[in-house]
Amino acid sequence: MELNEVTISRAIVEEQTRILLDYLEMDAAIVGGGPSGLACAALLGERGVKCALIEKKLSIGGGMWGGGMMFPRIVVQEEARRLLDRFGITHREYAPGYFVASSVEAVAKLTAAACDAGVEFFNLTTVEDVMIKSDARVSGLVVNWTPVEMAGLHVDPLTLACACTIDATGHDAVVARMVEAKGAEIAVKGESFMWAERAETNIVGHTREIYPGLVVTGMAANAVAGESRMGPIFGGMLLSGERAAALVAEKLGK
């Protein structure tokens, strides 16, 4: 078979345009492709929720890729071990209640699970604003290409409509801060000092709807609450993503 360059280009443009048009309206948009966002996306997809994951960087995985200080290993505590099993992530018990796993395998298998569940990914896409109308709820996201933002180009964005938005943007809590900046009655306190036990214990409780249509998960949830950070232990991230998926699915009746 003789390969045609235009056919290759046409396939890419037509297929991605078809997907983008289909996802201009969706049930749930997860902003941020770290561990909590990936877990949330995979679990929502399994429930039949039409959802997409929006990631500003070229690759997804967030801070999990680098493990701890570029040692590509992560630790997960006993309470979250079942999620390692659920996603088929190989692990071993390092000490009683401490399980160590490959950060690369963890990201790869969470991503594969989300793909298998029908989640669409929009990488290199930045959320620059939210849509809030007279019903006083987050009902859409204003997006642009990340390179446009990086270059400071004056290019107007597009809008995606969604019934629920999940802020999984990590320490910066980007979407929550946008809503706060627009005058909504929420307060993003910012994350506190390192205290793994406290952060891991409280993160699921901080995973909640902070404004109509907006749920926070992972370190974004801890940042909103002014909670501690925990370093390269990722059980709380997975459990928070699971909790966010349950909250959103309940709101959508899935």
Provide the annotated binding site for glycine: 229
218 close to 32: Cβ distance less than 8 angstroms: yes
Grouping H, G, I as helix, E, B as strand and the rest as coil, residue 162 is strand
Binding positions are 36, 55-56, 63, 127, 154-156, 171, 219, 229
Instruction: List Cβ neighbours of 38 (8 Å cut-off, separation of 6 or more).
Output: 53, 60, 61, 107, 110, 111, 113, 114, 241
Binding positions for NAD(+) are 36, 55-56, 63, 127, 154-156, 219
The tally of CA atoms less than 13 A away on the side-chain side of residue 120 is 21
Binding positions for Fe cation are 156, 171
Which residue is it, tokens 């399980």? 99
Q: What are the structure tokens assigned to 98, written together? A: 């401490």
Instruction: Please report, to the nearest 10 degrees, the dihedral formed by the alpha carbons of residues 244, 164, 56, 182 taken in order.
Output: -110
CA distance 235 to 65: 15
Scored b (16 or more CB within 10 A) or e, 58-81 reads eebbbbbbebeeeebebbbbeebb
Grouping H, G, I as helix, E, B as strand and the rest as coil, residue 228 is coil
